[in-house]
Amino acid sequence: VQNIGAYGMEVKDSITKVHTLEIKNKEVRIFSNKDCEFSYRNSTFKKDKEKKFIITKVEFKLSKEPLNKTTYGAIKEELKNLKLKANPGAIAEAVIKIRNRKLPNPKVLGNSGSFFKNPVIETTKFEALKKEFPEMVGYTISNSQTKIAAGWLIENAGLKGYRKADAGVHKNQALVLVNYGNASGTEIINLAKEIQQKVKDKYGISIEPEVSIL
């Protein structure tokens, strides 16, 4: 449970309880939403409690009122192309179509989805970078901080579609690292480190893995 999210929504907004089994003493423990300490792509289960609990069940509370959030990403444009009005079913259809176009099927091409988190930087730094890179994509999250699209950073560092042996960056979505068949875990990690360094060299921004590396 690491607070996945996309298109302006996060799973933390729907989770009420997380049921676990503590590995050390085999005791059942239930965490409330607050206990989970959710944040951007993070929770207590990815920090101090990682590898200490087995999650057995997650309880959700869904809204009875449709949220119809269409302002993020390409959802509004996709709904227009599909000639659909905004409602939960139509938005779900639009998201699925967008994801199917952008993301590789793990049954066909090995991948773990988005490999990197979107970095959060000071808004003053973002504004300075925008002068040099006008097309840089950022989302305001507070008066002083801006979230940068990591996929944009990787793509514009010339790495979209980049491949080293059987480890590569997906041709349609630069956030996704793929295994073309025989890449080892070490080769994937080395590719990730190379990407991190090139992004750091070009923009002065550090990007961190979203995945948990065992």
Tell me the three state secondary structure of residue 153: helix
Q: Do the strands 145-148 and 120-122 form a parallel or antiparallel pair, or are they unpaired?
A: antiparallel
Q: What are the catalytic residues? A: 41, 114, 210
Is residue 171 within 8 Å of residue 75, measured between CB atoms?
A: no
Local structure of residue 142 (DSSP, 8 states):
S
**For residues 122 and 146, what is the distance between their CA atoms, to the nearest angstrom?**
6
Q: Do the strands 167-169 and 110-114 form a parallel or antiparallel pair, or are they unpaired?
A: unpaired
**For residues 170 and 177, what is the distance between their CA atoms, to the nearest angstrom?**
6
**For residues 46 and 41, what is the distance between their CA atoms, to the nearest angstrom?**
9
Tell me the three state secondary structure of residue 60: strand
Is residue 69 within 8 Å of residue 90, measured between CB atoms?
A: no
